[in-house]
Amino acid sequence: MIFITGSTGQLGQELSRLLNDSIYTYRTFALSEWDITDLHRSQEILDIQPDILINASAYTAVDRSEEEREIAREVNSAAVGALAEECKKRNIRFIHISTDFVFTLNPIVEDGHLRYWKTNSPTRTLGAYAETKKQGEEFIQSVFGDSPNYHIIRTSWLYSSFGMNFPRTILRLLKDPSRKELKVIEDQIGRPTWAFRLAEFLLNLIASIHKKDGNLKPIYHFSNSGIASWYDFAVAVQEIGLKKGILKEKKLILPIPTEAYPTPAVRPRFSVMDLSESYELMEKIPHWREDLELCLGDPKTILGWNV
């Protein structure tokens, strides 16, 4: 039995979609059913004794977290540590979703090139969201120690046809008849991730757990392959949106530096993560543009693009 928190989020919905057609028995929980900051409720649910818990719950309002630090800490740090403790007591495999924001500061340069972040790279954070996600990871590692019974999955630039995300925002802005052009940051570099593909990776991980694979890693980095700036991402959204008929009119998209669009929270300038370990579980990880085209053209979710 697999339990999943955060069922109404992007990843939670994609996991449900895949698990419906799988051999696995699962149960999802929305925030109204399971607030992970409620320790008594967590204990009550985990007493049912699932085999695996996937924690897809998080406080993800990056800018608002600067004002709501305590709420971010409760959800992303304290509650995660408590879940880890309760899972360890019951011998439940704990899979936790984390973020590229743990690499907010000072990318590493080697031979004049920026180095991709590895799973064992030192975390470098700044800002409430990044700090609380890092603390959540540290709590898990402290609780489980050398136990193989946990996995931290760091991902980046997550999107789907559900909820609030970058492609949906870009489509909404491009559809605004009063807007003649769009300005998008060009000097923040990362990897977009289709939530469906992340869900697929998690099912591969679950399959390996059931096979009792002794070579599984405690930390994985998963995203689509290829790298992009937010500007690159926005241009691709428009190109594919026009091709799929989601958009009717092409508009000018202008690249701007980070300094031209100040935000309360600091964003990573270079958060490209090394995917080596993930390729051990998924032989082919599609390029981000390939999956963006699939996502925007998916007949099962196309209504989600009526933004």
Q: How far apart, in whole angstroms, are the C-alpha atoms of residue 66 and residue 62?
A: 7
Report the Cα 304 to chain-centroid distance in Å.
Answer: 19
Predicted pLDDT of residue 188: 95
Predicted pLDDT of residue 299: 58
DSSP characters over 251-307: -EEEEE-GGGS--SSPPPSB-PBP-HHHHTT-S---BHHHHHHHHHT-TTTGGGG--
Residue 192, φ and ψ in degrees, nearest 5: -65, 150
Please list the active-site residues: 129
Q: How far apart, in whole angstroms, are the C-alpha atoms of residue 137 and residue 88?
A: 15
pTM of the full structure: 0.94
pLDDT tens digits, the chain, 307 residues: what are they?
A: 999 999 999 999 999 999 999 999 999 999 999 999 999 999 999 999 999 999 999 999 999 999 999 999 999 999 999 999 999 999 999 999 999 999 977 677 666 677 899 999 999 888 999 999 999 999 999 999 999 999 999 999 999 998 889 999 999 999 999 999 999 999 999 999 999 999 999 999 999 999 988 899 999 999 999 999 999 999 999 999 999 999 999 999 999 999 999 999 999 999 999 999 999 999 999 999 999 999 998 655 555 556 5
Predicted pLDDT of residue 214: 83
Q: Does domain 2-305 have CATH number 3.40.50.300?
A: no
Distances (CA, A) of 187 to 173, 215, 286: 21, 37, 23
Token pair belonging to 224: 């689509």
DSSP characters over the chain: -EEEE-TTSHHHHHHHHHHTTSS--EEEE-TTT--TT-HHHHHHHHTT--SEEEE------TTGGGT-HHHHHIIIIIHHHHHHHHHHHHT-EEEEEEEGGGB-S---EETTEEPPBPTTSPPB--SHHHHHHHHHHHHHHHHHTT-SSEEEEEE-SEE-SSSS-HHHHHHHHHH-TT--EEEEE-S-EE--EEHHHHHHHHHHHHHHHHTT-TT--SEEE---BS-EEHHHHHHHHHHHHHHHTS-SS--EEEEE-GGGS--SSPPPSB-PBP-HHHHTT-S---BHHHHHHHHHT-TTTGGGG--
Predicted pLDDT of residue 113: 73
Predicted pLDDT of residue 111: 66
Predicted pLDDT of residue 306: 63
